[in-house]
A and B are shown apart, each in its own frame.
Chain A
Amino acid sequence: MQKILVAVKRVVDHNVRIRVRPDGSGVETDNVRLSMNPFDKHAVEAAVQLAEQGQAAEIVVVSIGPKGATDVILTALAMGAHRGVLIETDEKVETLAVAKLLAALVREEKPDLVLLGKQAVDDDSNHVGQMLAGLLDWPQATFASGIKVAGEGVEVTREVDFGRVEYALPLPAIVTADLRLNTPRNAALPMVMKARSKPLAVRPAAEFGIDLAPKLKIERVSPPPERSGGETLTDIAALARLIADARAEAEIG
């Protein structure tokens, strides 16, 4: 195929233990480490592997966010993507507006395949790939753990509730990456240096003429209920009694 578009998001690093702001206005994102959403790394890796196999000529990587989101585009360029686009906005953009911005870019770029992470680990929405497919009326394969080019389309293994299913999709198509799709590479230093010289276009979100006003109101963000530590058991007979009691309770439940 000619072109793959990969969408990536900058999020609070998944190793950071997040803190809810005491006033309930949200999660503290100032002075915390930000990095590429882990699922998006799998999407970038899948695109780079397809290019390395000679199955794709060009990989364009796009992110939506403030100037600082350039960092995750550079990460993708260092992994092997060819060109970057930052759709710049300082506002928080809802998933539907993200999908609309991406759809506008897809209409310009005309990729054969769009790869995204299956969800972002900040809002855990798991929306954008499916929404983009709906807006474009393209086939979608979410939660992908395998992808290969076959004939004029792609064959994708999807993780589902009862195991795995394999589908053949015609192109153009949308695929969202699950964690078992591949092992993302860590870019070597020369690649990181080289990434800085690759083309990166910064385009204001307003340029796309899409209404970015939120449809939902986040009224409050609170910490989850706390769980306090319990009792240490020393013998198996006590453990067995406890389980038998809990089981009886669950059955009456």
Chain B
Amino acid sequence: MTVLVLAEHDLGALSPATARVVAAAGALGPVEVLVAGQNAVAVADQAALLAGVTRVRTAADVGLEAETLAPLLASLAADYTYIVAVSGGVGRDVIPRVAAKLDLMPVTDVTAIHGPDRFERPIYAGNAIETVVSAQSRQILTLRASAFLPPPVAAPNSAPIEPIADAGSTAVVRLLATHRTEGDRPDLGTARIVVGGGIAVGSAEGFRLIEALAAKLGAAVGATRAAVDAGYAPNDWQIGQTGKIIAPDLYIAIGISGALQHLAGIQGAKKIIAINTDPEAPLMKLADYRLVGDLFTVVPALIEALG
């Protein structure tokens, strides 16, 4: 019943989402972690510390592109009952390809594990939840990290790290350019506090105000699809059905009316505070706390009041 979790990492750092997924996957069996791509060796050291990990396998010469990563995962599948990835950019890209190669139906965006073969996942932008039972010999899954708890604090583990022999492969696609959104804010998917801005923020300059409040609170910054489409915020800030899914302890929604596709991304938020001029906006109605007012007056005053 061994589980292989594909590590998600960026710039040499293991993602906090991977730690959550490793902890959640512990319910399925002993967990091994695969770290592929650039910086695999440095990331493997971090993965080896996670509680419950029995082995870390590295494949530094295999790129994170689906064309190279999927054959590697498929070739390792025989050793595992579960292949699990974070439901992020890399996991969503590669997991269905792996599943097809193995002639299996994957279960993706899992938000709850109810046994070895029973999983919950949202459909219709989170407006319905389906319980899926898989009688397949092997389960190929992606887990929404935001739906699972961070790992409890435990004594550091020191799982053995083993490189996979002959794992190199030739790239099929060629990377031309990378456009990285600058910033040192926490990861949106796993942040404990998120400050989000909508179309009412009005401009990229307006978003500086949202960022200032987030900085004050050590929070991640998010945006609605409308704000991203308008060019006020970068695409990787988008929260919603087609963007990132968040489940913070506190979500502060500023100038956001609450389109269905945005609400799909925030259903896991434990507490929602909404600030908007329109008390009838859908998000104002479902927020735990609401304040009616102009964001350009309220937010600076709030930053001031927070000291």
A-to-B contact residues, CB < 8 Å = 12, 14, 17-18, 20, 27, 39, 94-96, 99, 118-119, 121-135, 139-143, 145, 155, 159-170, 178-180, 214-224, 227-234, 236-237, 239-240, 242-244, 246-247, 249-251, 253
Complex contact A242–B289 (CB within 8 A): yes
> Shortest Cβ distance from A7 into chain B, in angstroms?
14
Q: Which residues of A contact B67 (CB under 8 A)?
A: 133, 139-140
B interface residue count range (under 10 / 10 to 19 / 20 to 34 / 35 or more): 35 or more
Q: Which residues of A contact B100 (CB under 8 A)?
A: 96, 99, 130-132, 134-135
19 pairs across A/B with beta carbons < 8 Å?
Answer: A123-B123, A124-B122, A131-B96, A134-B97, A142-B66, A163-B236, A166-B179, A168-B173, A219-B133, A221-B123, A222-B129, A222-B130, A223-B127, A224-B122, A224-B129, A230-B290, A237-B305, A240-B306, A253-B192
In the docked arrangement, what's the CA distance between A249 and B193, Å? 11
Complex contact A124–B124 (CB within 8 A): yes
Does more than half of chain A's interface fall in helix, strand or loop, or is it mixed?
Answer: mixed
Q: Which residues of B contact A247 (CB under 8 A)?
A: 193, 217-218, 250
Q: Which of A18, A140, A179, A229 contacts B285 (CB 8 A)?
A: A229
In the docked arrangement, what's the CA distance between A87 and B229, Å? 35
Asked whether any CB of chain A lies closer than 8 Å to the CB of B134, the reply is: yes
Q: Which of B107, B123, B260, B305 contacts A236 (CB 8 A)?
A: B305
B-to-A contact residues, CB < 8 Å = 10, 65-67, 70, 88-90, 92-101, 103-109, 118, 122-136, 172-181, 192-193, 217-218, 225, 228-229, 234-236, 241-242, 248-250, 252, 260-261, 267, 271-273, 279, 285-292, 298, 301-302, 305-306
Complex contact B89–A143 (CB within 8 A): yes
Given the known A-B contacts A139-B173, A250-B192, are A160 and B236 also in contact in the complex, defined by CB atoms under 8 Å? yes
Q: Which residues of B contact A214 (CB under 8 A)?
A: 105
Closest residue of chain A to B188 (Cβ to Cβ) is: A161
In the docked arrangement, what's the CA distance between A224 and B121, Å? 11
Q: Which of B92, B123, B287, B302 contacts A142 (CB 8 A)?
A: B92
Closest residue of chain A to B17 (Cβ to Cβ) is: A161
Given the known A-B contacts A27-B124, A130-B94, A239-B273, are A165 and B175 also in contact in the complex, defined by CB atoms under 8 Å? yes
> Shortest Cβ distance from A233 into chain B, in angstroms?
5
> Shortest Cβ distance from B265 into chain A, in angstroms?
12
Complex contact A160–B89 (CB within 8 A): yes
Q: Which residues of A contact B125 (CB under 8 A)?
A: 121, 124
Kindly list the 4 A-B residue pairs having the minimum CB-CB distance in the complex, ordered from nearest. Answer: A240-B305, A131-B100, A134-B100, A130-B96
Sample of 9 further A-B pairs with CB below 8 A, known A17-B260, A243-B250: A96-B105, A118-B242, A127-B108, A140-B66, A221-B130, A224-B126, A236-B305, A246-B250, A249-B249
> Shortest Cβ distance from B27 into chain A, in angstroms?
18
Complex contact B96–A239 (CB within 8 A): no
Closest residue of chain A to B269 (Cβ to Cβ) is: A227
Complex contact B105–A216 (CB within 8 A): yes
Q: Which residues of B contact A217 (CB under 8 A)?
A: 132-135
In the docked arrangement, what's the CA distance between A223 and B273, Å? 23
**B92, B103, B107, B267 pick with most chain A CB within 10 angstroms:** B92
Q: Which residues of B contact A131 (CB under 8 A)?
A: 96-97, 99-100
In the docked arrangement, what's the CA distance between A167 and B130, Å? 35
Q: Which residues of B contact A249 (CB under 8 A)?
A: 249
Q: Which residues of B contact A224 (CB under 8 A)?
A: 122, 126-129, 267
In the docked arrangement, what's the CA distance between A17 and B298, Å? 32
**A122, A246, A247, A251 pick with most chain B CB within 10 angstroms:** A246
Complex contact B292–A232 (CB within 8 A): yes
Closest residue of chain A to B109 (Cβ to Cβ) is: A124
In the docked arrangement, what's the CA distance between A133 and B172, Å? 12
In the docked arrangement, what's the CA distance between A197 and B222, Å? 47
